[in-house]
Amino acid sequence: MADALMLRPDRELIREVTQNSGGELKKCFQCATCSSVCSLSTEARPFPRQQVLKAQWGMTDQLIGDPSIWLCHDCGDCTARCPRGARPSAVMDAIRMATIRRLAFPRFMGNMVGRQENGAIMFVLSALILLAIAILPAIRSEVRPLVFAQMFPKDRLEPLFFAVSAYVVLALTIGALRFVKALRASGADGPILPALVPVLIEIIRHRRFASCGAGHVRRWGHLLVLSGFLGLALMGTTVGIGSLLGLMDTPIPTLNPLKIFANLCALLLVIGVSLLFWNRITNPEKRAGSSYCDWYFLALVGSVGLTGFLSEMLRLAQNPDWMFSVYYIHLSLVLTLFLCTPYSKFVHFLYRTLAMAATWRENQSPGQALVGARGSEITSA
């Protein structure tokens, strides 16, 4: 006889997932169609059927450490075939966002960033922080050529972004440690460090998107956004450290290889965001299943790229009426993106990497089932 399982439903989780999935959580009646088309599903652990049922019952502890919710890359095949219109992919996305909030450090930041009513707060906060270090009015500067440092001196701006970067790294590290602890408690006990290289190669290649029917068109959008963001992050760190050490001076000339590379990365980012926006707008299923967090993230990343291009064009044109204002908006968006990173869709990259690494050994062995929660499993007849 199977062991009895005592349930203490987390009503907040049920409410949160229901709200963020558009109420679709309630439509699922466990027909198992989603599991029959999902490549992650096994006979012993029907995915995402089992995870949806756990969300319906508010089983927070079993969901937080479940690696399968991160192994899922939201291809949409399950939603495309669901006979009830329950949109399992939207439910899984809502479960991931609920997990992020519970792993977040500090917790109140995870709650604030993920709620629609707080959408403008982070931008306003970023704008106020930058305003506090700005020299106004820079537009009246008599020094030519005009440079952004006349409004935001490097000795003020660089310490601010290094401090924020340190905070982001701390928040991501604590979230990662909490997640690894939850993974181990759920039974995902594979060695993480040895598997990081092959896992990162697979993520960068986006190989699983290529094998999905409904998600195939999103592969290039994700690849371009990821490539552009990583390239810009690398360039920003390089230039920041170089400037701090006195090895570089900004603004970097337009034809400098570093500047050309940064502009190409920004272009990839904007094109990738545009493709993802277009996919969501033209795909009724994806449009209906997109949450506020999806739209907010895409709008924020796309706005960073566009205002960055516009700032550079206005500086080259030496337009004092607009260049400082647009650059101020650009920096506010960049700072908002930094502050939101540990609690937004960007943290998916971290948790998905850890989940794939913790289950890499098992999932590469023939005949091995997807690692799931240890203990009693919930299935229905």
DSSP assignment of 154-220, as one string? HHHHHHHHHHHHHHHHHHHHHHHHHHHHHHHHHT--S-SGGGHHHHHHHHHHTHHHHT-STTGGGHH
Domain match, 209 and 176 both: yes
Residue 20 scores a pLDDT above 90:
no
pLDDT classification of 128: cutoffs 50, 70, 90: very high
User: Does a structural domain hold residue 112?
Assistant: no
Contact 347, 100 (CB under 8 A): yes
Q: Do both 126 and 179 map to the same domain?
A: yes
Same domain, 185 and 57: no
Share of the chain above pLDDT 90, in %: 40
In a domain, 5, yes or no: no
Q: What is the pTM of this model?
A: 0.86
Confidence of residue 371 (pLDDT cuts 50, 70, 90): very low
With a cut of 80, say whether residue 60 has pLDDT above it. yes
Q: Provide the 8-state DSSP code for 335.
A: H
31 lies in the same domain as 92 = yes
Domain identity same for 199 and 263: yes
**pLDDT value at position 172?**
96
pLDDT at residue 288, rounded to an integer: 64
**Residue 93 is assigned to a structural domain of this protein:** yes
Is the residue at 379 inside a domain?
no
- For residues 54 and 168, membership in a common domain is answered with no
> Are 158 and 85 part of one and the same domain?
no
In this structure, are 192 and 312 located in the same domain? yes
Residues 6+ apart with CB under 8 A from 339: 109, 113, 122, 125, 126, 164, 167, 168
90 and 125 inside one domain: no
In a domain, 76, yes or no: yes
For a pLDDT cut of 70, what percent of the chain falls above it? 87
- Quote the number of domains for the chain: 2
Mean pLDDT, residues 315-319:
93
pLDDT digits (tens, 9 = 90+) for 139-177: 676 778 899 999 999 889 999 999 999 999 999 999 999
* pLDDT on residue 369: 45
* Residue 161, pLDDT score: 93
For 276-288, write each residue's pLDDT tens digit. Answer: 888 888 877 666 6
Domain co-membership, 44 together with 185:
no
Q: Is 254 in the same domain as 344?
A: yes
Q: Which residue has the higher pLDDT, 226 or 172?
A: 172
CATH code (residue 164): 1.20.950
Specify if 368 maps to a domain: no
CA 207 from chain center: how many Å?
19
Same domain, 73 and 38: yes
- Does residue 381 form part of some domain? no
Which range, 78-82, 237-241, 267-271, is most confident? 267-271
Question: Residue 372: inside a domain, yes or no?
Answer: no
Q: Which residue segment(s) compose the domain that 316 sits in?
A: 117-139+146-360
